[in-house]
Structure 1
């Protein structure tokens, strides 16, 4: 589907979090499942995306992460102990296993082995029955089944505590000012970390006894306007539950593919007309929130506006309007030209239209 010469684009935790936030969008599900580069696809469709990080932000983030993990992750482990496990032994001399392997499958297997040995207090621990020393897994690789296809995920770090429990660490380059950060950015980081927690629970479930995966993840950010790391514990239980439920609701990718015309292809090098027809053959569920989460948002918004869909006004408005799916349906119902008067949405629209007419009439009487 992505074309014979196009390499597959990996499905990361950020994309999974966005997909879980809009599980009804079959278009994103099939494109992500097929590994299509949606940025290149949007460019080919004539609706280039503004979504994503700048090169400057990526460079700054990589430099900050390297600083946090310097000296065998000493500062990172100090922050984990301070915010999540203050009663544990100091994290001096923690083990950092080598997770190098060939391909994502090999790295996933190597990560699972390192976690299993750490949980058992084997090569990486000093205690018995899962109680050992601190272990830091730098950029481990985890796998999660999504709509019948595997997704390989790479958290910034996973820490194994001396009691055998596991913690996900998210390192971000946005600052914490006076101990707090931008709520929108923290929320996005929490949703991303929740995906890692789900994948880590999959690994833990295969061990006996299963280690405890902590639902308090550690968010590490620059302190104020400096490059010094600070951290805060973020409870992702709510985000984890929502993400798990939404991922379960996703239609299997094969089921979506079976509904497409024979020979459907999303290769960016195809003629624009054929490419647009292929994309439009897959139903999309556009909402304004897609603008900050999907590379195809501008294309989908254009199509949604052309179809006069009320989803362009937001999910909350769409939910209130019930069976009224287009803006013309809404205006017609408000005017009294159509719609069931007993429908609560229609009754509310007509009441709003009457109040608006009264307000305009009163304004005209005061200001002729």
Structure 2
């Protein structure tokens, strides 16, 4: 279900047992303390940062050119509350009933120490082999204080399970992944450690798998989420391999567990995430660093809603918030409506500006250098220049302009030759 949890009970392990971070900050990066101060200013003093989950990261990676989302997500701004304050609330999300049903199904899959989950794993990844006995599967405690502590506890549990060479089932481990220069914490439903040192990501979803297949769009979204988890596991695998001397491999095939047909019985399918993994890695690498985006903003820019005493009502004028939001460039596309809380606000602004992006990425790519609807209509209506006359800014050989003029000519020809049928004078009677 990929439900993010803020914290769990503190662990009894001492800090010295947790693995120390090995990554060093990139050259020229803003110090973490300075960056956190600036992000706190953008978010608002006293406002807790909203954590990112794998679904949001997958959507962010699908649109890396949107500096607005990169900054808001990197600063931990609550985009849903911001959209409501702007008067353009998001119209999507799971109902409370669907969330409760998903929790109940996940609990059933993981019952009895994950016996059913391990059976499905063997059935799909190693047909014919016997799954391990419940008492042969380790289920380490991943409790720790805060996401950083839980991520460190997860790394320690993965190292111990891999070094032991036994089966292990990690329930809701916490993983860290860098997004635009800022750490984000994601939480897969489960990770299974195999005796051979390989790790498998498990995604548990509540949509049905009917006759062995599920909705392609939902499976694709689950594959993109699983790719984020695989990406987050890779540096941990490198760390574990260096410490244990074993070959550690994060499998590029995830296990998707769903209800079978119209029942509540679990079934599973293997999903190849190699394509999604390559795309996510490339797109996240393209994201502009959060501090670079923030440095280009006016010093007084903030997205603080100035909540009232009830903690929910925004008191800051919508005009001020809109000005702050518009200070950051966005890359709107119709696909954003299913992935971003600010999509309705961005769509309204895109339509007001007549931007061709509102028509879709495919149309935007076909139109070349034409950026607005007005430019498109003008290029289609402009007749070809006579010999010796200067051409428009697009040039005489621009394929987009030539295609538009050809389409306009065909449309005019079709309308001119269309014959209107005469009205019927009498209708045949019914017999």
Query: Where on the TM-score scale, by shorter chain, does this alignment land: which range?
Result: over 0.9
Q: 1:268 aligns with which of 290, 305, 315?
A: 305
Distance in 2, matches of 1:210 and 1:364, equals 75
Alignment of 1:280 onto 2:326: yes
Distance in 2, matches of 1:210 and 1:242, equals 25
Please give the residue correspondences for 1:34-113 in structure 2 after superposition, counting only pairs within 5 Å: 34-86=75-127, 89-92=130-133, 93=135, 94-113=137-156
Alignment of 1:160 onto 2:193: yes
Distance in 1, matches of 2:413 and 2:421, equals 12
Q: 2:228 aligns with which of 195, 203, 208?
A: 195
Tell me the TM-score normalised to structure 1 length: 0.95
Question: For 1:227-273, what per-residue CA distance to the aligned partner results, in whole angstroms no more than 9, with x for missing partners?
Answer: 00000000000000000000000000000000101121112232211
Distance in 2, matches of 1:84 and 1:3, equals 48
Matching residue of 1:26: 67
Q: CA deviation at 1:348?
A: 0.7
Distance in 2, matches of 1:90 and 1:172, equals 22
Ranges in structure 2 where 5+ consecutive residues have no aligned partner: 1-41, 307-315, 384-391, 424-431
The DSSP-based 3-state class of the residue aligned with 2:138 is: coil
Alignment of 1:120 onto 2:163: yes
Alignment of 1:324 onto 2:370: yes
Alpha carbons 1:11, 1:153 under 8 Å: kept? yes
Please give the residue correspondences for 1:145-184 in structure 2 after superposition, counting only pairs within 5 Å: 145-184=178-217
Q: 1:346 aligns with which of 393, 397, 401?
A: 401
Q: CA deviation at 1:200?
A: 0.7
- Cα RMSD of the aligned pairs, angstroms, is 1.4
Ranges in structure 1 where 5+ consecutive residues have no aligned partner: 122-131
Q: CA deviation at 1:364?
A: 4.0
Alpha carbons 1:89, 1:162 under 8 Å: kept? no
Larger Rg: 2
Alpha carbons 1:111, 1:142 under 8 Å: kept? yes
Q: CA deviation at 1:26?
A: 0.3
Matching residue of 1:360: 415
Q: CA deviation at 1:88?
A: 5.3
Alpha carbons 1:81, 1:91 under 8 Å: kept? no
Tell me the TM-score normalised to structure 2 length: 0.81
Alpha carbons 1:111, 1:141 under 8 Å: kept? yes
Q: CA deviation at 1:210?
A: 4.3
Q: CA deviation at 1:52?
A: 2.0
Alpha carbons 1:198, 1:240 under 8 Å: kept? yes
Alignment of 1:9 onto 2:56: no
